[in-house]
């Protein structure tokens, strides 16, 4: 019993002496002097395995703060996080350009850290960073031919020979593109996919009617029942 009491007194004396020797030690921003130092949390290791051993007094981060790569104590929420494609982690964020507003008016205010699109990219409605050149305001979108629509982030078009081509997720420049249920015919016009398997004459053309599309052949090339309804 006496031995345990003596050890406790010696430990207390050691701590008091250590605190006294470090009483004049100044800690940095968001730090405090811990008389019984331990292992410290960081952005790289937010939950280290620490023993109960009492180490010499040292400056440690305040609760909810961790050390960054430069040794500063910062809020844990400020630690860099992985960002998506064409984006980066900004420790001092600003306003983000979007498809609807590619060039917003930004102040010099330093906002909380977050992922932001790289230079030359804007944020779309799906939270992805796409090239600014792929963004075209709706009012500036040109009129497209029949069976086509204007797309800001274009891809590859199907054709009569290859209705379902292998397409990457690459965002290509905006353009008029076939509607989802249409494909490109020999004359480079968009036609219904159901007609793609029908043999087309060079002079034939597609005409839109109330109940869908029909293959129209000029009179001089017509044979009996040459007008095929689909």
Tens digit of each residue's pLDDT (9 = 90 or more) over 170-204:
777 888 888 877 665 555 555 565 555 444 434 44
* Least confident among 22-31, 56-65, 85-94, 133-142: 133-142
For residue range 17-26, list pLDDT tens digits in order.
Answer: 444 455 567 9
Residues 6+ apart with CB under 8 A from 11: 54
The reply to whether 151 and 133 lie within a common domain is: no
- Asked if the structure places residue 103 within a domain, the reply is yes
- Asked if the structure places residue 41 within a domain, the reply is yes
pTM confidence score: 0.43
- Asked if the structure places residue 220 within a domain, the reply is no
- Asked if the structure places residue 194 within a domain, the reply is no
Q: How many CB atoms lie within 10 A of CB 230?
A: 13
- Asked if the structure places residue 19 within a domain, the reply is no
- Asked if the structure places residue 22 within a domain, the reply is no
The reply to whether 150 and 129 lie within a common domain is: no
Residue 213 · residue 192 · CB < 8 Å: yes
Domain range enclosing 60 = 27-78
Number of domains, the chain:
3
Residue 148 · residue 182 · CB < 8 Å: yes
- Asked if the structure places residue 46 within a domain, the reply is yes
């Amino acid at each position: 019993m006496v031995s345990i009491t003596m050890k406790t007194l010696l430990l207390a004396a050691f701590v008091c002496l250590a605190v006294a020797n470090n009483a004049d030690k100044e800690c940095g921003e968001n730090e405090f002097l811990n008389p019984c130092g331990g292992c410290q949390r960081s952005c790289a290791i937010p939950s280290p395995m620490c023993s109960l051993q009492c180490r010499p007094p040292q400056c440690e981060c305040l609760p909810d703060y961790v050390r960054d790569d430069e040794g500063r104590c910062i809020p844990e929420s400020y630690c860099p996080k992985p960002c998506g494609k064409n984006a980066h982690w900004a420790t001092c964020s600003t306003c983000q350009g979007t498809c609807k507003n590619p060039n917003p008016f930004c102040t010099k205010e330093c906002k909380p850290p977050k992922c932001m699109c790289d230079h030359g990219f804007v944020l779309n409605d799906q939270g992805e960073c796409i090239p600014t050149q792929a963004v075209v305001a709706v009012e500036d979108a040109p009129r497209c031919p029949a069976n086509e629509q204007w797309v800001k982030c274009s891809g590859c078009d199907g054709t009569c020979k290859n209705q379902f081509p292998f397409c990457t997720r690459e965002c290509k420049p905006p353009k008029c593109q076939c509607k989802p249920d249409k494909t490109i015919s020999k004359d480079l016009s968009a036609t219904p996919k159901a007609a793609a398997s029908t043999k087309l004459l060079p002079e034939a053309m597609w005409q839109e009617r109330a109940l869908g599309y029909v293959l129209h052949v000029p009179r001089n090339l017509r044979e009996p029942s040459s007008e095929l309804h689909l």
